[in-house]
Structure 1
């Protein structure tokens, strides 16, 4: 598709206004306040501090920081696609949350003919939004905002499919996944891989002239990593039971992140032949521990086990970038642009296994109220993992097929990873050198994209 054919002057405004009208109508018909928000249900005897907002808002605010600043900065690593990474993250996240309030509301907060809205709904919606943004990483720089809004994620597939998967896993399988390693990270990973499998671009396998980072873009991306790192304990514990469960979730997440960070620095220096640290490793592999402890984050796994999980997740993530991502791109037609299979897929699988092993120890002693033996609960955990991967992969591939429709303004290979296609760029934009000028396709450390995973350890 040519540069002019990706013009957004008509398509994007028409789409956004149509979506806003749809949201207004649906909210007017179906959404009302919950008991903690409705003034008609409050009395003079109500103690303000008992309102749920005082318990839920701190977690909501922390997750907001992760969604809009953490993910936004992290995805701004391309020298010529910083606007796209951050601004499309902003656009996508904003609508994803609005749409998820409705979709998840029908599954979890719908009674008396209405979706009852409170801060807890916003937290649930932001988890669904995190799924969208993780999947977005698989196709970063290769899609238009029209594609992102119409087909790729929110409207037709990802949020609704995620809602179905969550409903099945939570309501019927009743597994333990407090930190969302299965429902959020694994689902998002395989949905994104399903999309990028269908959108395979052979010409990008050997890199692209604009898949280049700069000193400034890498610094901005590290800032995103730091925001995610700092607020990850809130993400993992927001929906756990209040009290000791939530306390353990915070401790285990911090310990896991700390372990993966130290391990990432060690492995980065060891696996790079020049013995130097890779910024891509610092930006991504350091976060692996937060995912790896997720499925068992509220259990009595011991601090030592949380530390070991952080180290194990980091090691799997690092080796995935070095060996697995190039294999997936060249042999299986899966161009995982941001390496989400390493940071979210592999670590999510490890977390699932760890939770099963821990449940084997806990269930005989705790005599779970569901009446399941340890073996039965392990089978339910595996069933949840399998159904999540299947729903995500099929949904992703169907979405990828929709993305190929010509009127969705998909950028051509030539204009991938280029802000100029969709933005008014400043005067110094064209002064930024491309890969041929810098030699970065051969010598410069790449970020977490196809070129990066092939060269960063050479």
Structure 2
């Protein structure tokens, strides 16, 4: 059995111990219950059914399944790295969520220096966790557990600060997280991968191969993600018809990308066979592609078309762009996150901008100013008083036109991609520190370096029996 990298026996427990002490101290100092969880706010007039738990918990539970089961199973596709893919996902996710509650709370949810904790905070933290796990996909199998924890430690504050800037100041519309989850995570992960470039792995690795049972487990991860993705896209949309549309559009987009994935996989394969890589990943592109416009009145047909378009760019990127990035740009995108989250995310952002430009009162009625709060008249505007007759409690907005809001969306996309890429490169240079115990090239994609493994862990397909056709699935997508 291979020994762990020098120092990992001490450094990993030390990091976890210090991190948990800091987290517990921070929670004790800055975190308390929100009004829906604090017993002091409950009176005889309190209606239990009105508690925010009942509105927010279903989405939270569904996203939990996506984070821990969907991602975990999906990342277990390497023949000799199933433990690493699934268990390091578990470790990283658990740490990221508790850390994101603090980081996001500091920038967005604190009141009087205190973070009011409710289920909605956990939902936002899991969005941040999804971004971190997507970024980790770019360096899957080439990093150790300590590196992944440090990646999460550094990425979460950058993401929280970026969220604060674009949501509170640029005031963009991003219900499904196309900009602040998919694009940010993609380009942060590519930046990390660029900094961690390994020339010795550019022509592949003998252990970076899929296995029959591993591919079945990965396909199960895809199914978990596929089934619960509507909850992910709808979780932060306005409750009511906006969330209703988000569920419908996500399902239609996923349906479109699934059918397209099977058709394109057979068409693009020389022998007309279906690739499990495409089934595991391109089928999910529809969920990304509808994200930016998921709560808008884009029409069911447009949602389906976006799913097909997202699948097409994802599969073409996987076949042609990923090898180019590795050979020409020093970016080894191990899980092809640029195809599913980058390219499909850009399709989604373009669709969202078009949806904003076409939004008007004729289509939305007075609810236009709830869905697009930035377009609502500002405080003191007579028009706001008129609208409040039709929409009681309507909050004042910024009075932006559709064109102005579309320009802010474009600015947010450019800013987020730039910040994420720079942040990822800087994080990657930190992860190169020898103290973080990176695996050597020859032991990448191998569970024996970090885990106690059973004697038969590599007996299903002896390494000598792996053919060039088997190794064609070296690079997978993630999420």
CA distance, structure 1, for counterparts of residue 222 and residue 436 of structure 2? 31
User: Equivalent residue for 1:223?
Assistant: 220
User: Equivalent residue for 2:430?
Assistant: 402
2:345 equivalent among 341, 345, 348: 348
2:254 equivalent among 243, 257, 273: 257
Deviation track 1:108-145 (CA, whole Å, cap 9, x = no partner) reads: 22012210000000000000000000001000000011
User: Equivalent residue for 1:16?
Assistant: 16
CA distance, structure 2, for counterparts of residue 96 and residue 106 of structure 1? 15
- Which ranges in structure 1 are unaligned for 5 or more consecutive residues? 454-458
User: Equivalent residue for 2:465?
Assistant: 437
How far the C-alpha of 1:375 sits from its partner, in A, is 2.1
3-state SS, counterpart of residue 5 of structure 1:
coil
1:178 equivalent among 159, 164, 175: 175
How far the C-alpha of 1:431 sits from its partner, in A, is 2.5
User: Equivalent residue for 2:146?
Assistant: 146
CA distance, structure 2, for counterparts of residue 47 and residue 374 of structure 1? 40
CA distance, structure 2, for counterparts of residue 18 and residue 193 of structure 1? 29
User: Equivalent residue for 2:403?
Assistant: 375
CA distance, structure 2, for counterparts of residue 253 and residue 448 of structure 1? 29
Deviation track 1:132-171 (CA, whole Å, cap 9, x = no partner) reads: 0000100000001111112x2x22x210000011111111
- Which ranges in structure 2 are unaligned for 5 or more consecutive residues? 363-367, 370-374, 377-397
The 5 Å alignment of 1:51-130 reads 51-130=51-130
3-state SS, counterpart of residue 427 of structure 1:
coil
User: Equivalent residue for 2:47?
Assistant: 47
> For residues 205 and 434 of structure 1, do their structure 2 counterparts lie closer, same or farther at Cα, with a shift above 3 Å needed?
farther
CA distance, structure 1, for counterparts of residue 311 and residue 4 of structure 2? 43
User: Equivalent residue for 1:456?
Assistant: none
CA distance, structure 1, for counterparts of residue 458 and residue 42 of structure 2? 59
1:292 equivalent among 289, 292, 302: 289
CA distance, structure 1, for counterparts of residue 347 and residue 410 of structure 2? 12
2:418 equivalent among 378, 382, 390: 390
Q: Is the 8 A contact 1:291 1:351 kept in 2?
A: yes
Q: Is the 8 A contact 2:70 2:224 kept in 1?
A: yes
Deviation track 1:381-410 (CA, whole Å, cap 9, x = no partner) reads: 010001100110000000010011111100
**TM-score, normalised with respect to structure 2:** 0.91
Deviation track 1:228-269 (CA, whole Å, cap 9, x = no partner) reads: 000000000001001100000000000000000000000000
How far the C-alpha of 1:363 sits from its partner, in A, is 4.5
1:234 equivalent among 227, 231, 243: 231
3-state SS, counterpart of residue 40 of structure 1:
helix
CA distance, structure 2, for counterparts of residue 363 and residue 108 of structure 1? 30
Q: Is the 8 A contact 1:138 1:338 kept in 2?
A: yes
Q: How many residues align?
A: 445
CA distance, structure 2, for counterparts of residue 4 and residue 353 of structure 1? 46
**TM-score, normalised with respect to structure 1:** 0.95
Deviation track 1:320-360 (CA, whole Å, cap 9, x = no partner) reads: 00100010001101100000000000011011111111111
Q: Is the 8 A contact 2:208 2:474 kept in 1?
A: no
The answer to whether residue 411 in structure 2 is matched with residue 414 in structure 1 is no
Q: Is the 8 A contact 1:142 1:416 kept in 2?
A: yes
3-state SS, counterpart of residue 428 of structure 1:
coil
> For residues 448 and 345 of structure 1, do their structure 2 counterparts lie closer, same or farther at Cα, with a shift above 3 Å needed?
farther
